[in-house]
Amino acid sequence: MPHPDALHWDARYACEADRYSLRSPRHLITSHLDLIPGGGLVLDAACGTASTGRYLAARGRRVVALDASLVALRLAQKKVKKETPAISFAVLDMMDPWLPEAYFDVILNFYFLSRPLWQTYRRALKPGGLLFFETYLREAGRNSAHYLDTQELRLAFDDWEIIHYLEVERLVPSREGTYRTRWSAQLVARKPE
């Protein structure tokens, strides 16, 4: 039996396939592409339709794209061109998965929050590896399990080299076609050698 979160996201991706399939790669990656080693192994965690992972694979990076939603991964696979270098897809509950130790050159985590993953990421990145992380900050009345407190992400990795940290307000689309502002935290950090 699939996890309830997987069922929720499967239904959402099935109903809004065009919205998710047309996403551009995350700006945090496109603006820091020069940091990502050519040929490096990238984990795109909770990747959804893997727009960022597909972008990196098309630029010579090897990508492992993981998500709990089989529907999202099938949408991503349809977008992969035959000439695009290998990108591997797998269904996995990302709440607290096992990942191999010192295996990835880069880990991407966009708009998914599971604090136990932070220790998993610490172990799974190679020394000198990069973590790209961005997700929403908590608003009044929101469940803190799903949102970061201000400065929480920076403090969680303050023993790493912080290359970029920013808390930024941005416009985000709603399902109704309108926009509203949301605050998010962005982190690019390098694991110590």
pTM for the predicted model, two decimal places: 0.87
Residue 191 has pLDDT above 90, yes or no: yes
Is the CATH number of domain 4-190 3.40.50.150?
A: yes
The secondary structure of 31-81 as a DSSP string is TTGGGSPTT-EEEEET-TT-HHHHHHHTTT-EEEEEES-HHHHHHHHHH--
pLDDT tens per residue, range 2-18: 666 765 554 555 565 55
Sequence-separated (6 or more) residues with CB below 8 Å from residue 183: 136, 137, 139, 167, 168, 169, 170
Give the residue carrying structure tokens 């985590």: 109
Q: What is the mean pLDDT of residues 150-172?
A: 95
